[in-house]
């Protein structure tokens, strides 16, 4: 796999710019007052399919040659990447084979099916997911699009920070959550290319802190039994992602579950934005470390808004 | 009271443009497919204080001469106007006297207090609200700012449609909900000045249909015992508002409670936007009248997002 650079992000933006939403950047004086910093929220919860994942999936799907695209694309995912890939494939008019664990929430099965994804259910283990996908790929010839450990996916995710910095070129810090590292690696590439002095700081739930531990150790340490309400961040960091993150990210901060819920509730109540818990992780880091971020101008990527409205944590 | 015109809206926009959020306009391909029309949602739920009301309150407060502003402003309101006026007054550094019925929800009392409003509680009757406010005005000398039957308030509310049409000058129709008529009268003035061919259609809950009945009859018919989940639309149309609406609005459509809840849930789930029930009333009208609006390009003003998250109708 090629290590992506900012030129790939520029190309991705040219390719997908007419398909994705150029999401708004919102501010909130109350939350600024509470944190003592000036925050600029890039609203990827308002992106198509409800998450930044659509950028990467779109870039991956539309970067395929016609020959590569002939048999469609495939992935295993129980989350936002599955819906994003299914929708991107439908826009190109090719099939998307999605392997989902049989215990995936109904709401996620419905989302993938609603976007036209062809679902195959498997046992809820990583092994079963991978075996099932490889079996389907062997039968159908689909191109497998990994959710984050993929050059074009990373380049696509980097377009969110690019848009943010084009509007606000004087930020001190850009923050985003980290799970598999697709958003963080793309964000870091954009930020360091556009504003070398701007710091990139990721936030991670302390119950799923493999990126934090890998970053500090200098080598990849996978998650074992991660547990957090931020269900988008349960995955372990990818290799390509770790390579980019270890060279371009300034720090990773871990946060408590309580702060994630507090941050989420603040954004719902004060900003009127529906975000999923993963999106609240950077704000949680600010709430837990107010002195460190005093008077800074900080861009925050709100990663997604896909949440079961019947099952809110507040 | 002077009848406002589009020049007043231009002046209002110059006065408040640096204070208000220029709210984003969002689209949703799923809802477009469901309605058969192309919709452009102007997100006033993302406005400061969570509602378009901040535009009118801001214009009213900042239009006062220094002499008029000396003793502050006052109003009686249990809703979004109270919070908006309190916040606008705080930005000018003058007091806001807010008369609220003693049975107002805690969440609304807290919002007004949070924005620095000085609250006086009264009996939950219109008579008590008006008497109490007049008493306070007599004692303190505040300028009374009516929530909708006020020239500067109407001009302020008209800036939302002005922003929408500046981005999308080729709309066939602009829709918004109608309660007291502040938003609708301001919207109609902007639309008819900027795009005379564009139709202005309001939507109203059938359980609070005084605007519909007044519009059809040609004279003002106040509400008696209105009842709807769209609590922002319980008020009766104002005189100034009716004057403008009867001359500039093309139609008013009434909708059921079920459609309001369905529209609200769609916007929450598919657009990731927190809206209050009143905001969903125009989409409810589209869901109930699909054939009429087939293939039209329609701007919809989402009026606000202030709702008790513990008490959702779905």
Same fold, A6-51+151-302 and A54-144: yes
pLDDT band at A9 (very low <50, low <70, confident <90, very high): very high
Q: Residue A178: how many CA atoms within 13 Å on its side-chain side?
A: 38
Distance CA B72, CA B60 (A): 12
DSSP state of B40: E
Are the C-beta atoms of residues A295 and A216 closer than 8 Å to each other? no
Contacting residues of A for B275, CB less than 8 Å apart: 272
Give the residue-averaged pLDDT of A241-252: 98
CA nearest A35: which of A304, A306, A313, A289? A289
**CA A86, CA A76: separation in Å to the nearest integer?**
11
How far is A215 from chain B, CA to nearest CA, in Å? Answer: 33
What is the C-alpha to C-alpha distance for residues A161 and B18, in angstroms, rounded to an integer? 25
Q: Which is nearest to B299 in space by CA: B168, B185, B188, B158?
A: B168
Q: Which residue, among B128, B63, B117, has the nearest Cα to B85 in the 3D structure? A: B117
- Provide, as residue numbers in chain B, all residues whose Cβ is less than 8 Å from the Cβ of A309: 265, 268-269, 312, 314
Residue of A nearest to B275 (CA): A272
Do you know the residue count of chain B?
Answer: 314
CA pair distance B241, B184, nearest whole angstrom = 8
* Candidate from A29, A272, A312 with C-beta closest to B45: A272
pLDDT tens readout for residues B166-188: 999 999 999 999 999 999 999 99
Tell me what pLDDT residue B76 has: 92
The rounded distance, in Å, linking the Cα atoms of B303 and B216 is 24
A54-144 is classed in which CATH architecture?
3-Layer(aba) Sandwich (3.40)
Helix (H) or strand (E) holding A241: helix A239-248
pLDDT for position A274: 98
HSE at residue B303, side-chain half, CA atoms within 13 A, is: 36
A1 or B137: which leads in pLDDT:
B137
Residue A29 and residue B48: Cβ atoms within 8 Å? yes
pLDDT exceeds cutoff 90 at A108: no
C-alpha distances out from residue A224 to A129, A148, A277, A282, Å: 17, 19, 21, 23
What is residue B78's predicted lDDT score, i.e. its pLDDT? Answer: 75
- The residues that bridge with B205 in the sheet, in sequence order, are B255
Residue A1 has pLDDT above 90, yes or no: no
Fold category of B6-51+151-302 in CATH: Rossmann fold (3.40.50)
Dihedral, CA of residue B84, residue B88, residue B90 and residue B91, to nearest 10: 140
Q: Which tokens belong to A187?
A: 């964000």
Contact B97, B140 (CB under 8 A): yes
For the segment B53-61, the average pLDDT, to the nearest whole number, is: 98
Q: Residue B236 phi/psi, 5° resolution?
A: -90, 150
Domain range summary for chain A, segments of one domain joined by +: 6-51+151-302, 54-144
Residue A78, pLDDT > 80, answer no
For residue A79, is pLDDT > 90? no
Mutate which: B272, B275, B305, B307, vs A, most A CBs within 10 A: B272
Instruction: Inform me whether the pLDDT recorded for B14 exceeds 80.
Output: yes
Q: Supply the DSSP symbol for B132.
A: H
Q: What's the whole-number mean pLDDT along residues B8-29? A: 98
Most B CBs within 10 A among A26, A107, A272, hence the mutation to make, goes to A272
What's the rounded Cα separation, in Å, for the pair A136 and A116?
A: 17
Q: What is the mean pLDDT of chain B?
A: 96
* Nearest-CB residue to A268 (from B30, B275, B309): B309
Instruction: Give the minimum alpha-carbon distance from A45 to chain B in angstroms, rounded to a whole number.
Output: 7
pLDDT value of residue A311: 86
Question: Where residue A10 falls among pLDDT bands split at 50, 70, 90?
Answer: very high
Determine, for residues B312 and A314 on separate chains, whether the beta-carbon distance falls below 8 Å.
Answer: no
A274–B272 C-beta distance less than 8 A: yes
| Contact residues on chain A for B26, CB-CB shorter than 8 A | 21, 24, 46
Q: Which of A114, A265, A305 sits opposite B272 (nearest CB)?
A: A305
Cα distance between residue A268 and residue B292, in whole Å: 35
B26·A45 Cβ contact <8 A: no
Residue of B nearest to A111 (CA): B270
> Distance from A174 to chain B by nearest Cα, in Å?
22
Neighbour tally for B235: CB within 10 Å: 25
Element (H, E) at A301: strand A297-302
Closest chain A residue to B314 measured between Cα atoms?
A310
Query: Closest to B272 (Cβ–Cβ): which among A46, A114, A314?
Result: A46
Cβ atoms of residues B61 and B85 within 8 Å: yes
Q: Which residues of A235-252 are buried (b: 16+ CB within 10 A; e: fewer)?
A: bbbbebbbebbbebbebb
pLDDT of residue B311: 86
Give me the mean pLDDT over the B208-217 stretch.
Answer: 97
- Distance, CA of A57 to CA of A63 (rounded, Å): 10
The first and second tokens of residue A217, run together, are 């150790």
The rounded Cα B13 to chain-centroid distance in angstroms is: 16
Residue A304 carries which DSSP code? B
Interface of A to B at Cβ within 8 Å reads 21, 24, 26-27, 29, 45-46, 48, 50, 114, 265, 268-269, 271-275, 305, 309, 312, 314
Helix spans in chain B (H): 6-16, 29-35, 53-63, 66-69, 80-92, 106-114, 126-140, 151-167, 182-194, 210-217, 239-248, 257-271, 281-288
At B130-152, the pLDDT tens digits run: 999 999 999 999 999 999 999 99
Distance CA B90, CA B112 (A): 11
Give the pLDDT confidence score for residue B107 in this predicted structure: 81
Q: What percent of chain B has pLDDT above 70?
A: 100
CA pair distance A159, A13, nearest whole angstrom: 6
**How far apart (Å, rounded) are the C-alpha atoms in residues B113 and B128?**
21
- Read off the pLDDT of residues A109-149 as tens digits, 9 standing for 90 and up: 988 999 999 999 999 888 899 999 999 999 999 999 999 99
Which chain B residues touch A24 with a CB distance below 8 Å? 24, 26, 46
Shortest CB distance from B272 goes to which of A29, A45, A312? A45
């Amino acid at each position: 796999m090629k290590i992506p650079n900012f030129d790939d992000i520029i190309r991705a933006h040219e390719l997908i710019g007419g398909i994705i939403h150029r999401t708004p950047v919102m501010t909130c004086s109350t939350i600024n007052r509470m944190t003592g910093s000036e925050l600029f929220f890039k609203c990827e919860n308002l992106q198509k399919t409800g998450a930044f994942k659509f950028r990467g999936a779109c870039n991956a799907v539309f970067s395929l040659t016609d020959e590569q695209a002939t048999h469609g694309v495939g992935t295993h995912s129980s989350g936002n990447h599955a819906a994003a890939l299914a929708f991107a494939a439908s826009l190109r008019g090719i099939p998307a084979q999605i392997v989902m664990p049989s215990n995936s929430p109904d709401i996620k099965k419905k989302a993938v099916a609603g976007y036209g994804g062809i679902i195959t259910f498997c046992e809820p283990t990583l092994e079963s997911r991978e075996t099932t996908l490889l079996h389907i790929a062997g039968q159908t010839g689909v191109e497998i699009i990994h959710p984050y450990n993929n050059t074009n996916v990373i380049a696509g995710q980097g377009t969110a920070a690019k848009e943010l910095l084009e509007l606000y070129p004087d930020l001190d810090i850009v923050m985003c959550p980290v799970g598999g590292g697709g958003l963080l690696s793309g964000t870091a590439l954009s930020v360091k290319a556009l504003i070398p002095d701007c710091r990139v700081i990721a936030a991670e739930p302390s119950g799923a802190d493999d990126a934090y531990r890998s970053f500090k150790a200098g080598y990849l340490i996978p998650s074992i039994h991660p547990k957090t309400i931020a269900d988008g961040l349960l995955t372990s960091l990818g290799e390509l992602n770790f390579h980019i993150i270890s060279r371009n990210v300034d720090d990773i901060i871990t946060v408590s579950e309580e702060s994630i819920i507090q941050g989420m509730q603040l954004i719902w109540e004060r900003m009127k934005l529906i975000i999923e818990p993963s999106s609240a992780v950077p704000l949680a880091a600010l709430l837990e470390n107010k002195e460190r971020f005093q008077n800074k101008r900080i861009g925050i990527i709100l990663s997604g808004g896909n949440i079961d409205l019947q099952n809110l944590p507040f």
